Structure 1
Amino acid sequence: MALTEISANKIFGGLQKVFSHESKTLGCTMKFGAYIPSQASEKQLPVIYWLSGLTCSESNFIEKAGAQRYAAEQEVIIINPDTSPKGLNIPGDSESWDFGVGAGFYLNATQDPWKNNYKMYDYIVSELIDLVNKNFNVLPAQQSIMGHSMGGHGALILALKNPGLFKSVSAFAPICNPSVCPWGIKAFTGYLGPKETGNWEQWDATELVKKYNRPPLELFIDQGTSDQFLFQLNPENLVEASKSSGVPVIYKQRDGYNHSYFYIASFIGEHIKYHKKYLV
């Protein structure tokens, strides 16, 4: 599958690049960022996938998180895709900031008019990872995943639904229980249909963790105490649900931090270092 390089900027010895490609899964042109440390020219490196939140594109993480310094130090490639299909002009896809464009929720839609294109789950698991493995100097099967808000939700469900695919998972201010919060209810109703028939539990980390039992997986949840969207996130629900299946959780509460990239930039180095422990 052909990649088109859109930009390349040298930073901390490596290259921050942006690529586009024609996605068969989503039926549109997709973009993703790739930070490639200088060591990738000499040896295979592990990969960390980053999933961004509502309204974001691939650029937010690249420009605001400050992750490149730590990725260079830890010798990891970071891949960050866009958050939804773009440029399709599906009726209603741009009417609100929390549904449609910029709000793919990392699931596979089952309802019209979304089901043919809004398949971000399949895109990442089946298409993007394969694309990265074939085009970058990566260590086979040595990959982890992290994200923020809607992307934290995405990171958690991708790890829980695919045991062993990712060596580790972490999330900044994730939407932990979307079935019970306004953002999640709106998205799930639109993409999946009514709760009674839409199998919402298969896309909800709080429900998925109750059934998880193999292989061992630790959840690293990071939450600011001054997050203005905390009522949407419900991290305590996930922490409590994890106890029923014995899934360990690191739950770090950051005093005074909100939902912004200032918060992410403050602790992204800790997360990258955490993931590197699992990536050999």
Structure 2
Amino acid sequence: MTTSALTRVSEQLCFGGKQIRFTHQSAVTNCEMQFSVFLPPHAQTGKVPALYWLSGLTCTDENFSGKAGAQRVAAELGIALIIPDTSPRGEGVPDDPDGAYDFGLGAGFYVNATREPFVKHYQMYDYIVSELPALVEAELPVSAVRAISGHSMGGHGALVIGLRNPERYRSISAFSPICNPVNSPWGIKAFSGYLGDDKSQWVHYDASVLLAKTQKALPILVDQGTADNFYPQQLQTDSLSAAARQSGADVQVRLQQGYDHSYYFIASFIEQHIQFHAKFLVG
């Protein structure tokens, strides 16, 4: 199946629904992008709400699809899963000059880059917020009733995007998110590379800074494993909790004893996260 804008790469039946992978040409990232979609059985008879999932460093759209085990509960609840890639890719798209895993390809950090040579392609914030939903909702049986979630770098992206665009989403959740990237080694490297040295621009992409100042936060659920080797230095969950107390926002931060940073952790709690979102997505 090829629509006016989407090219199907693969399709499999899954829990009575369809797991599909698409490519399309992006005007925002100036390259071909790929993303995956799970359409529940309910999509055969009408439009369904969507949970957008943002993955972490080194991932593509296929990690969550194959490892999280999210399709069963999404099929039961009638929720589509929209799973974008983590960065632009392809010929001419710049990477980390040293080939490191935490910058460049697979590490777009869901920001709009302003520095050369990344500004032409690394516009992942606009891609996730505007271009991808418009495309999905025009071409697929998916409504504009949305929630957003993610893991690690993607948890950072979900929190920031949801906090900055409360009118576009119903709820937010995250696993092991980078909560305070302006003070995290990962965040400092990425923001310096994509945005430059002006730290006044960094705070627009920091969930803890945004949450502390918000007057209209969506319901938020965060799970963090206590055996995560990136907790607390890179992830700085306590900063998000402090910000929630400051703003009085509706934020649940759950420390899960003994869980690490892996997809085993995500698979253990993804059903609870989708059920959390269903309260706001499904009438």
**Bin for the TM-score computed over the shorter chain:** over 0.9
Q: CA deviation at 1:225?
A: 0.7
Instruction: Report matched runs for 1:200-215 at 5 Å.
Output: 200-214=202-216
Q: CA deviation at 1:43?
A: 2.0
Secondary structure at 1:278 match in 2:
helix
Match of 1:75 in 2: 78
Q: CA deviation at 1:241?
A: 1.1
Q: CA deviation at 1:91?
A: 4.6
Aligned with 2:25 (options 2, 15, 22): 22
Match of 1:155 in 2: 158
Q: Kindly, what percent of the aligned residue pairs are identical? A: 50
Instruction: Report matched runs for 1:242-261 at 5 Å.
Output: 242-261=244-263
Secondary structure at 1:199 match in 2:
helix
Tell me: CA distance 1:47–1:107, structure 2 relative to 1, closer, same or farther (3 Å). Answer: same
Tell me: CA distance 1:199–1:45, structure 2 relative to 1, closer, same or farther (3 Å). Answer: same
Aligned with 1:57 (options 57, 60, 63): 60
Structure 2 unaligned residues grouped into runs of 5+: none
Tell me: CA distance 1:83–1:44, structure 2 relative to 1, closer, same or farther (3 Å). Answer: same
The C-alpha deviation readout for 1:10-31, integer Å capped at 9, x for no partner, is 1111110000000010011101
Distance 1:162 1:56 in 2: 24
Q: Which amino acid aligns with 1:212?
A: T
Structure 1 unaligned residues grouped into runs of 5+: none
Instruction: Report matched runs for 1:40-189 at 5 Å.
Output: 40-93=43-96, 95-139=99-143, 141-189=144-192
Distance 1:19 1:192 in 2: 30
Distance 1:68 1:245 in 2: 34
Secondary structure at 1:72 match in 2:
helix
Match of 2:221 in 1: 220
Query: Which runs of at least 4 in structure 1 moved beyond 2 Å after TM superposition?
Result: 88-94
Q: CA deviation at 1:90?
A: 4.0
Q: CA deviation at 1:199?
A: 1.1
The C-alpha deviation readout for 1:192-238, integer Å capped at 9, x for no partner, is 11144x51110100111122112x52221110110011120011101
Match of 1:271 in 2: 273
The C-alpha deviation readout for 1:97-119, integer Å capped at 9, x for no partner, is 00000000001011111111100
Contact 2:20 2:38 in 1 (8 A): yes
Q: CA deviation at 1:93?
A: 3.5
Q: CA deviation at 1:44?
A: 1.8
Secondary structure at 2:173 match in 1:
strand
Normalising by structure 2, report the TM-score.
Answer: 0.95
The C-alpha deviation readout for 1:141-166, integer Å capped at 9, x for no partner, is 31100000000000000001112211
Normalising by structure 1, report the TM-score.
Answer: 0.96
Tell me: CA distance 1:97–1:89, structure 2 relative to 1, closer, same or farther (3 Å). Answer: farther
Q: CA deviation at 1:126?
A: 1.3
